[in-house]
Each structure stands twice: as structure tokens, then as C-alpha cells.
Structure 1
């Protein structure tokens, strides 16, 4: 209904009733609008003036005042422009607030946790979100050991869709623009499958951030090391080996350093893909 759409646009119920009344009658007085709508007498002038302020009414300053609707297309476009201005101002204020909050949070001294490690797990539709967060969190380098059985290499996938993949690519590009490096170690078949196309990914200016090497018999595992600080383990479906069924992210510097050492050892003896 038109009434509901006008309310969604930002008018209240009284304003909708008054606007439609004047629209139908061409020119109307506030008193007549009050008598023929459900708008209380104590609210009618406030309502009419509000519609003037919002650019929906023209007002004749006679006694009594008379009101006429502006050309609807112009009036509604003006209302849109005003709402857009308000939204832009709100967004800018929110941006400034976030910056201020971030600065104050950075000044808070965080105690070193007593626990040595902390972990979270993602399954199903949560997996793409964790994959995206890996690039969001990275500050220096991401190292990926990606070994899959040859039977799985041709059709490897996880729970994702075009939107998730696009968002992940965007975060990957942002990470590269921040100077984050990506090193991937895999079997040759898997490495060929996961080599990004520079043009389709928009990576012409950041291709130097990526290096892929392979081994004929790599260490049988699938994990990601982020900044030598966090480790993400990908769990392969034992029945459908081309599918990741879960991911576990572990904050543990000792574990990350241990796996980083193994990664570097294999990296030195691996061959460049190109």
C-alpha cells in the first residue's frame, strides 16, 4: 500500500494522512484536514509544518494558511536527497567515532593471558568467513601448506558461493595492498589449480606479493600460518577428499613457530611453480 511505502520513506502516520488528503484535494486548509482525517487538532499544524519543512507542501501564508502538494516527483526526489545527506552525515560521524574509539582502545593495556593458546572452529557456512578473516588479520605474511590427494586436486572446494569468493578476493587484495606477502607450498597439481589469474583477480599490481612452490611429495597436511602467530588447520572430509568440512584457528605462538620452521625447511627444498 502507498501508505506503508510513505511510512518506510520516513513519514509518520499523521504526515501520511495529511499528505494524501492534500494530494487528493489539490489545495486544503489545516482545519479541513483535521476534520476529515484522524489527525488530532493539537497535532494538525505541527504535521502540516513538518511536511512543508520536508519539501512536500507549498504553503500560502494567508489566514487561514492553505497548503498544496509540490509536484510529487520533485518533492520525493528532494526528500531522497535530504535523507541521503542525513545518511552521509551519519556515516561520517560513525567513521569519526570508530576512529576515536579505536585510538582509545589502543591505549588500553591488555594483560598477557595466562593460557598459552586460544582456538575457534568454523564449520559449514562459517568457513568462508574464517577464510576472509585470515586476510583481514594478516599484517606481514601468510604461509599456506596445501597438500591434497591427487584424487581431490581437480575438484577441491569448501562451503562457498560467488559472493563469499568475491569478498575473500577483496580482502586478499586489501592485504596485498597493505604489503602482506603470501607464500603457498603444495604439490604441483594443486599449485597449478590454485594459481590466481592476474587479470581476473585484478592482481596486476600485486602479483609480486605471491609466490608458489611445490614438492613432489609434500608434507601431508593443510594449514595456514598467519604472521608466525596464528595457525589455521583445515579439516578434509575423509569420504569426499575435495571438500573442507571444518577449520580451526589457533592463537599459539609456540605452535606457529614450530610449524613455521617446518614450512621454511620444506620451502627451501621446493621448486618454483613458474
Structure 2
């Protein structure tokens, strides 16, 4: 077995090496473990102690000398179940403190006014963050929308439309070109679409009264989330000026 399998479930590389070495050797003294594992003696007892705590190694005294044995591989499943229980308990603790943590973050965000997110996961986080505080009568305005980006972004936006419908949030979109992506949007409820070429080199979304998202879909993908009512108002006014001249 490769050590990476054990590393993925939470063991360190050295812990993985020692456990696999003991599985092969059987009950062994530290000298034999070191000889067969290729590790230096500096941290061997620390590694063995950590594996004992995890329930993956046991210790015995043979002829007045400490020896160590690997627990059966089935013990790894018990270790994972224990980790699950710990995660569930930690999740409950975090859930209780989440409102206070959110308040702290909002206070920090108000001071910062903008946050930059990178990559596809960051992009999704930014959109979900902006969307979470929208109320029923607020709207989303998008301009510079294009299909010319990685398909996963287009798929995300179409799926996001379902989420928006459930919350009954209306959307108006200015597309940069006619495409199948635009046609797909025309089937989504609470949505109006128009065409206006070359409106902006990036995609800009206004979420409600005080949030603006600026998307750069080229690699490396980035998204700037701005928290500012004046900025949102300026972009909204510009959007509606363009909306008037856009083609239906």
C-alpha cells in the first residue's frame, strides 16, 4: 500500500511509513522499525506514541524491552469512525458560534469594502455570499454576460437560476452576444434578457442595493465582491441607461 492512502485519512507521512513497516514486520523493537523504515531515530517514539493514541499501534514489554505491533487494518475503519464523531461534535460547536462569527466577518467586510476570490471555488463562494442576503423584492442585474468561458461557469449560472427562482429574485441580463447560453436563460422564470455588444470587457453583476460582483473568467479566474451602496447605485444607473438602448 502507498503511504498516500493513509495520509489522505489523516496520518502523517512518517506515521504511515511506521504503520506499514510494522504490518510487514510484526511485533518489533524500535531498532528494527528504524532499520526497515529508513527513518532517523530522532522522532520515532513521538511517532509511535501518536499511532498509539490513534489506536493503530500497541506497545508490549518483551524481555524487559519495549516492542510495538501494528493494529489490524480493520482498526483503521474504527479510527475513521472516531474522526467522524469528532467532526460532528466540532460541527455542532461551530454551528452554535456561527452567528457571532458571521457578525465579526460582516464588521470586517464593512471596513474592507471589497474581497477578491480566486478560482472556480472562490467564484462560487463570492456568488453565494452576495446572494445569501438578497430579499424577495431585490433584483440581480448582469451586464457583459458572455458564453465564451469555461463550460462549468455557464452550467453554474444556469443551475443558480433555479436557486434564484425559489427565492423569487428577479434578474435582468445584458448579453454581449446571442448564443445557446442566452437562449437557455430565456427559459428561466423571473428573467429578462437583452443584447448589447461590447458593453464591458468583464462581466459585472449588481446584487441588490449594495453589492457588486466583477468577474474575470480568463485564467487565472478571479472575482471581486464589492460591498458599497454608492458603487452599486452607480453601476445600477449605468446598467439601466444601457438597458434602454439594448435589443430585445
Which TM-score applies when normalising by structure 2?
A: 0.55
1:258 aligns with 2:237: yes
Distance 1:190-1:260 versus aligned 2 partners, 3 A rule: same
The counterpart of 1:183, out of the listed 145, 151, 172, is 172
1:208 aligns with 2:206: no
Separation in structure 1 between the aligned mates of residue 214 and residue 51 of structure 2, nearest angstrom? 59
Report if aligned partners of 1:184, 1:211 keep a CA contact under 8 Å in 2. Answer: yes
Report if aligned partners of 1:141, 1:226 keep a CA contact under 8 Å in 2. Answer: yes
Distance 1:71-1:262 versus aligned 2 partners, 3 A rule: same
Report if aligned partners of 1:135, 1:175 keep a CA contact under 8 Å in 2. Answer: no
Give the greater-gyration-radius structure (CA): 1
Aligned twin of 2:30: 34
Which TM-score applies when normalising by structure 1?
A: 0.51
Aligned twin of 2:72: 71
Report if aligned partners of 1:128, 1:164 keep a CA contact under 8 Å in 2. Answer: no
Aligned twin of 2:219: none
Report if aligned partners of 1:22, 1:69 keep a CA contact under 8 Å in 2. Answer: yes
How many residues align structurally?
A: 225
Report if aligned partners of 2:122, 2:223 keep a CA contact under 8 Å in 1. Answer: no
1:62-141 aligned at under 5 Å gives the runs 68-72=69-73, 74-90=74-90, 93=93, 98-106=98-106, 133=126, 136-138=129-131, 139=134, 140-141=138-139
1:142 aligns with 2:140: yes
Where does the alignment leave 5 or more consecutive residues of structure 1 unmatched?
A: 148-155, 236-245
1:157 aligns with 2:147: yes
Calculate the aligned-residue CA RMSD, in Å.
5.5
Distance 1:110-1:183 versus aligned 2 partners, 3 A rule: closer
